[in-house]
Amino acid sequence: MTSVFDVAAYILKKKHSMTTMKLQKLCYYSQAWSLVWDEKPLFPEEIQAWANGPVCPDLYHQHKGLFKICDGDINGDASKLDATQQATVNGVLSFYGDMGAYELSQLTHHEAPWKNARNGLPSGVSSSAEIKNADIAEYYGGLTD
């Protein structure tokens, strides 16, 4: 299975550079739509409902301290994504890729998986609650009906 690092490397290969917050949100949406379109996770790493939206802590620890990140900055292998996985991430980039980090963060704050995982915590309060793949698949799958 590919890792979140492979997915992040693929995104950076396609988009060249972006803020780390935007990279986190694009990895989250790639996972979400893989669960819906491909009916399986794109990567096994956990996503948590942090104050600024969904974050994969494993990826965060690799880019911690950076604001902007470029192609080659993540220790992942973009070539590990198969054609189906690439098509999923490309679809995500086509829809979400031109949005800014703050816009993506705000979008996630209005969506059930992040809100439900936080269980009523106010915006700005830290949390390490996991956003479950089943909740992600249910919510985003409902958007395609």
| Residues in Cβ contact with 128 at an 8 Å cutoff, skipping those fewer than 6 apart | 48, 50, 57
So what's the pLDDT on residue 1?
Answer: 86
pLDDT tens, the chain, 145 aa long: 899 999 999 999 999 999 999 999 999 999 999 999 999 999 999 999 999 999 999 999 999 988 999 998 999 999 999 999 999 999 999 999 999 999 999 999 999 999 999 998 988 899 999 999 999 999 999 987 6
Q: How far apart are CA 33 and CA 130, in angstroms?
A: 18
Find the radius of gyration of the CA atoms of the chain: 14
So what's the pLDDT on residue 145?
Answer: 64
Nearest to 5 by CA among 36, 32, 40, 42: 42
So what's the pLDDT on residue 110?
Answer: 93
Nearest to 136 by CA among 110, 119, 112, 118: 112
* Cβ count near 126 (within 10 Å): 10
Q: How far apart are CA 34 and CA 28, in angstroms?
A: 10
Give DSSP secondary structure letters for 19-87.
EHHHHHHHHHHHHHHIIIIISS-S--S--EEETTEEE-HHHHHHHTT-SEEETTSSS--GGGS-HHHHH
Residue type, 93: L
Model-level pTM?
0.96
